[in-house]
Structure 1
Amino acid sequence: MKKLLLQQRAADVKVISLPTIMPYKAWFQQLATTLNFQQVEMPIVLNEMAQQWYWRQALQTALKNSDEPLVNMAAAAVSLNQAHSLETEWGIEVRADEVNPEYTAFCEWRQQYQQLLAALPAWDTPVLATQLQQAIQEGKLKAPAHIVLLGFYSLSAYQQRLLEVCIANGSKVYQLVLHREKAQSIEVYRAEDSYQEMLSALMWAAQYIQRNPTHKVALVVPDLQHSAPQLRRLLTLMFKDTVLDQQWHIAVGRPLSEWGLVRSVLAWFRLLVRFQQGAVVLADVGNALLNAEFAFDSYYRERLAMWDCTLRSGTSVKLSYNAFSDELSKIHPSHAQAFQTSIDTWSMKKRTCAEWVQVYQETLKSFSFPSGFSLNSINYQLCQAFEQAMKAFSVLDEMLPALGADEALSLFEQHLGQTMFQGQRPANVVLDIVGLYEIEGGQWDAVWVSGLTDNVLPQISNPNPYLPIRSQRRAHVMHATPESEMAWATQVFEAILHSAPLVVFSYPSLKGEEILRHSSFLSPYLATQKKLANTAY
């Protein structure tokens, strides 16, 4: 956008002040940072992870004498924190005749949660949002002279109020709509199943690029997170030694905790915690032995795998630290010594999150991390992302009290599970594989959208379980009702139709024994739909 602005104004002016372009959440955080500088005694602002931690503490206090404790307290804390934020973000008002047992429990637990925050004192996201709006209204925060909105499907009640306050304080608000031509050619295909559909889409992409070597193509996969592993195998197999060999990119991020390198680190960190509590079950030991790439090269990993096989064939269900240390010394003496040193460092005393990060870094250094891992481009980026994640975890230092080794590691794992990582897109890519969310704003020469069934577009609504459905519907909460899902799906479908001159849609007829139906958005184009033929694969 900045490049486009420079091109348009190059003939008029020689010097131009470029606008700040950022996501809405980044602007919100920027306002919070500015307020923090101006308000000397401003309470601590909790991030989402810290908020969820205090929700868990509130739940534990409220349910300690309950006969029916929550099965998954961590998941409940996430939903409760979301419900608390939704009420402020969407201006949800629950009427007396809408109150249900879930909402009553939510109100009771929220009171306990707010008491914990008041004792610190600290602000969570809803309180911060209210304070920012009030600060702009009172002139403590300067409203921007111009605010330009781009890519907003709809505005929440809070976003509308915030913009109204900015306008009242001198801001001018604009809505930027990018002009893009609608597709000149639209095709629809019906496949027997998703596998045939995917093979056909990949073969179509290869043939299209062969005919148009300078063009860019996109393949849209709604369940890309789930399909990515199979897609990588197919892409590698089908495009080897072709014009598309190494010319494709899957735009899917995975949590850091799911990447092999980080998973390996966590497995060995978990051993350090477990051995301080006594003998460790073989499942945890085996998990570490089979995920040792963070510090062991292929030769030593083979020996660790053989050790795991020996343990599995025995009769023991647990392994003592002495037995583990003795065997590890035979395989890799220096790493056995590093493990011993780390055991001594990882004492069960409580530390702050910043102190635990220092312990984690010292432990990795003692294992010469990442000595056993091939540092190609992706792995190098992964190491950098892991380092940034540790720094981000240390920020919890001022938000949470000191934690024991077990709780700190569990929280660190949760943090890594919520931190997404995706490798950078190479510049020479001609085939982009993206999800439905990534299609917005993109522009290609041809696009194939797969899997467009009636439960994909529109998707099934996902209301928060702790807020009454009628209250969420009245507030028009995004993704909470079928109506809001249909509105969102309409915007997405329009974006697809304007993403390329040629747009191809497809959908599978079967999923196992389940009969699937096409998305209702395809109805105007079904008169010319075709059935996909079987491929050579």
Structure 2
Amino acid sequence: MNGETLVLCSTPRLARNLRLAHSRDQAAQGFKQWRPLQALTLNQWLDALYTQAQLMGLIPAEHAPRLVLGPTQERILWERTIESELAENPAEALFDRAGLAAAAMEAHRLMQEWSVDAGTDHTHEQTQETRQFLRWRNAFRAACRKLEVQDVASQFDAQIECVRHFSVPLPACIHLAGFDRNTPQEKRLFAALQQRGVEVLTWPLGLPQAADAVQIAYDDAEAECRAAVAWAHTQFANNPEARLAIVVPELGALRAGLSAILDDVLHPESLQPAHAEMPRRYDFSLGTPLATHPMIAIALSLLRLVTQRYRIAQPEFCTLLASVYWSASESEADTRARLDAEMRRKLGATLHIEQLLRLARQVQGEGTSLSRLVLHLENVAAADWRGRNAPSAWSAQFSALLKASGWPGERSISSHEYQARQSWSEALADFARLDLLLGTIPATEAVSRLARLCQERIFQPEAVGEPQLQVMGMLEAQSAPLDAVWVMGMNDHAWPPPARPNPLLPAEAQRRVGAPNSCSRVQAEFAQAIHARLLHSAPEIVFSWSHKDGERELRPSPLLAGMPEWKAPVEPAHTMAERLAQPASMQHIDDHIAPPVAEGEKVRGGAGLLKAQAICPAWAYYRYRLGARALEEPVDGLDSMDRGTLLHAVLQCFWQGRGSAALQAMDEATLQAALLDAVERGVAQFCQNQDKALPEHFLALEKQRLQFLLAAWLEFERGRSSFTVEECERKVALNIEGIAVDLTLDRVDALDDGRLVVIDYKTGGTVSHKSWAETRISEPQLPIYAALALADGEIAAVCFAKVRADEQRFIGIAHLPETLPGVDCLEEARKLFLEETFPDWPSVLNHWKTCLAAIANEIKAGEAAVKFASEDDLAYCEVKPLLRLPERKLQFEREAGSHG
């Protein structure tokens, strides 16, 4: 036995902080050299002790396990055991094997660590689930013996026996730090140490006297987060050297929001890319899953690219193209963006890797630089991952594939990215150690297993030194007393935490030994112990809770009963965006006038340009004058626009050279033949203009749909009075006040008296002509046709033709009654077309001409303000992000608040 003091800690974080604190104290005392504090977690020390006993020959090699299962390995063995046990069950496919394995793994640990007795002594307590679990446990133990492996809880028992029976060197004194409760298994260990003459003490972490704590309530959790950050900012302003903590019971759910507001308030300069990884004054005790790190997410996507080579989701590959973490992400960035646009336009939502390669080579062949991406895609396409391999073999192939695909990119990686890559290497090494448990598996399962392992592996970039503000969960303990602590989320539904007994063990058996989560009494006692520790962690402590969670009313934790309210609370902090939106900090510049249209400048856009200008001038400016547009969303088959174009083509093929007389004269057989001919010709015409061929089975279904739709529409048109179809899909070029407008007239019918009916097909659910009576016409296409393109003719009616399977109707306005079924004449539509404004039919056409000219003149003058009647009108705006509506709304709210 040696005389060196050992500190065993509840968490690795606490052990690290104790070592840092010890070094800081030694330096403050003027020492130049000192022996580092021996602070380890309990498992770290026991593993080293057991290894030492093996090296000393105290434990025979045949008694030592080949492998001690880590959490992932143990879960896999449980999954395999349960799968084998359920193989003959007819409902096997309905079971959540991963969930059952997690519950069984926890139940086994409770029986080992907490001595939960679910066996023969208490058979009256056993449920069917418990009996099933005990069978699984026996099979699991048999599998462990067969593979010569050991789970962690069983290994702990073996380590206790090592301490009790073998003369391994032990320290004279052991201090325990941060243990809020000890399991019976740990108590057996400490008793064995004491029997060997080791003094087991508690390491002092807190203050001798409890703090005079206060409580404060806020509206919701977000307000709590903001208030806690504002409090920390005030503490640092008063004492720049202060050491603080924000304690959060539900840290995982609130981490992202807390991180954002902490950066906004304490480190606004971190918004700049060059400072993104700057050292922070704060640090989180809880990291994020390794799989969510952008660099690792791209690595997993590249691996999935091979296993899903014939069914790649285009959005996933678009994410790959936009990433800096593979191939020539910087030197070929512009061409990759072009490939993205071409891919969205030419390929479906699901594609295969050969299609990607062909398109990439095509873009490369057009004189643009894409050689490295093509090379890396060829390497990915050449990967042959058929058959089965052991995880170690797959791990080597995965590494080779990532290197061949240019991962992690061509730029130098940062410190945090380097640490993430190191963690990735460790994850690959862990995966390679699964050979014994998994045997040989296919590539798809290998990638899935690796992705799950990365999701379970928590990654936290290493902090520089010991940050002044620690953001931690309730179970974390500090290495030394702090200056102040804020504990948030103290609502009764979260703290004490609700009971959650393991479903595979009898609840009474769990309650009998006081196992974690077994009942409300155990949870209350545990929460009280944590609360007592927190009260001794700093001289100043604030507890906060929320009034609401959405619409749900909340109550404070019972542990706050009798605690005084805070008399001088801080106001919740504002985000950087909110601070910049304050009227006092803003300079208002009226910049809604863009450069006027210059002499000779061509502004094109057809009716869409005038529509956008009428709804929101900024929409028209960004979309049609600057050329901004949203990237297309790929679909398998046809999108709604393609279906509309196809319907137009079919209707054109049917009506060319026909009128109502021809339709009325057709019997059922003749009509069906004409329908079939129109559909065949329309589909063939449509397919000639497509970049990719549509599958035959898909075209067959589409033809059936079109025949049904066209038959329903023609049946509706049989009810019209006599007409002749004069024009179908006629191209028209107009000049409206110097603005070039190219149009396509869907259809123009001539009545027996020579007057014209202008028709525009619509297949959408919402069709309205109400704006035709307004000064800003948001549906200008038909008014342009009637007032300008057909100005030489006499217009009888202007209407939309709503062609849908569930509804067929005309929507519009007519000069005289009964011109079209269901369409009001001018005199019947006085609620919309007021008589004082529209006394007669020519005034309607003149109104359209005048309003359209005014809108065109707005475009020429450069009017580009963000103004609109309703945000709903912007539903199809392609450049909506450029309008910055959230910022605009926030500014208005701030201005209203300052005047209120």
Q: Give the TM-score, by structure 1 length.
A: 0.87
2:65 to 43, 46, 58: 43
For residue 410 of structure 1, give the secondary structure of its aligned residue in structure 2: helix
Does residue 192 of structure 1 match 2:219?
yes
Look up the equivalent residue of 2:105 and give its one-letter code. N
Query: CA contact under 8 A between 2:216 and 2:565: conserved in structure 1?
Result: no
2-side partners of 1:154 and 1:185: how far apart? 25
For residue 437 of structure 1, give the secondary structure of its aligned residue in structure 2: coil
Deviations 1:368-410 (A, max 9, x none): 3322566233222222222232233333345542333222222
Give 1:155's aligned residue: 182
Give 1:272's aligned residue: 306
For residue 481 of structure 2, give the secondary structure of its aligned residue in structure 1: coil
Query: CA contact under 8 A between 1:191 and 1:508: conserved in structure 2?
Result: yes
Q: Where in structure 2 are the equivalents of 1:246-325 lying within 5 Å?
A: 247-251=280-284, 252-275=286-309, 278-282=310-314, 285-286=317-318, 288-289=320-321, 293-297=325-329, 316-325=348-357
Query: CA contact under 8 A between 2:230 and 2:570: conserved in structure 1?
Result: no
2-side partners of 1:140 and 1:262: how far apart? 46
- The alpha carbon displacement at 1:453 in A equals 1.0
Query: CA contact under 8 A between 1:453 and 1:517: conserved in structure 2?
Result: yes
Query: CA contact under 8 A between 1:279 and 1:318: conserved in structure 2?
Result: yes
Give 1:213's aligned residue: 240
2-side partners of 1:184 and 1:56: how far apart? 48
Look up the equivalent residue of 1:481 and give its one-letter code. C
- The alpha carbon displacement at 1:15 in A equals 10
Give 1:367's aligned residue: 405
Query: CA contact under 8 A between 1:220 and 1:439: conserved in structure 2?
Result: no
Of 427-436 and 316-325, more deviation after overlay is shown by: 427-436
Give 1:65's aligned residue: 88
- The alpha carbon displacement at 1:428 in A equals 8.1
Give 1:25's aligned residue: 43
1-side partners of 2:379 and 2:207: how far apart? 61
Compared CA separation, residues 62 and 369, structure 1 to 2 (3 A): same
2-side partners of 1:460 and 1:173: how far apart? 33
Gaps of 5+ in 2: 1-17, 272-277, 365-369, 579-900
Compared CA separation, residues 314 and 487, structure 1 to 2 (3 A): farther
Query: CA contact under 8 A between 1:294 and 1:369: conserved in structure 2?
Result: yes
Deviations 1:253-299 (A, max 9, x none): 01101111111111111111222xx4434465455445563445257
Look up the equivalent residue of 1:64 and give its one-letter code. A
- Give the structure with higher Rg (CA): 2
2-side partners of 1:230 and 1:61: how far apart? 43
Give 2:417's aligned residue: 379
2-side partners of 1:301 and 1:460: how far apart? 51
1-side partners of 2:462 and 2:23: how far apart? 25
Give 1:391's aligned residue: 429
Query: CA contact under 8 A between 2:248 and 2:488: conserved in structure 1?
Result: yes
Query: CA contact under 8 A between 2:485 and 2:541: conserved in structure 1?
Result: yes
For residue 61 of structure 2, give the secondary structure of its aligned residue in structure 1: coil
Query: What is the aligned-residue RMSD (CA, Å)?
Result: 3.5
2:142 to 106, 115, 122: 115
1:424 to 442, 450, 462: 462
Compared CA separation, residues 356 and 141, structure 1 to 2 (3 A): farther
1-side partners of 2:70 and 2:417: how far apart? 28
- The alpha carbon displacement at 1:232 in A equals 2.8
Q: Give the TM-score, by structure 2 length.
A: 0.54
Does residue 87 of structure 1 match 2:111?
yes
Of 307-316 and 61-70, more deviation after overlay is shown by: 307-316
Does residue 134 of structure 1 match 2:157?
no
Compared CA separation, residues 249 and 298, structure 1 to 2 (3 A): farther
1-side partners of 2:563 and 2:205: how far apart? 25
Compared CA separation, residues 53 and 140, structure 1 to 2 (3 A): farther
Does residue 448 of structure 1 match 2:448?
no
Query: CA contact under 8 A between 1:86 and 1:92: conserved in structure 2?
Result: yes
Query: CA contact under 8 A between 1:103 and 1:466: conserved in structure 2?
Result: yes
- The alpha carbon displacement at 1:511 in A equals 1.0
2-side partners of 1:31 and 1:339: how far apart? 50
Compared CA separation, residues 531 and 209, structure 1 to 2 (3 A): closer
2-side partners of 1:17 and 1:375: how far apart? 36
Of 390-399 and 305-314, more deviation after overlay is shown by: 305-314
2-side partners of 1:505 and 1:354: how far apart? 50
Give 1:333's aligned residue: 371
Give 2:77's aligned residue: 54
2-side partners of 1:472 and 1:431: how far apart? 38
- The alpha carbon displacement at 1:240 in A equals 5.4
- The alpha carbon displacement at 1:526 in A equals 3.6
Aligned residues: 533
Of 244-253 and 519-528, more deviation after overlay is shown by: 244-253
Gaps of 5+ in 1: none
Deviations 1:136-179 (A, max 9, x none): 33327555543322222222111122222333344332333335
Of 447-456 and 18-27, more deviation after overlay is shown by: 18-27
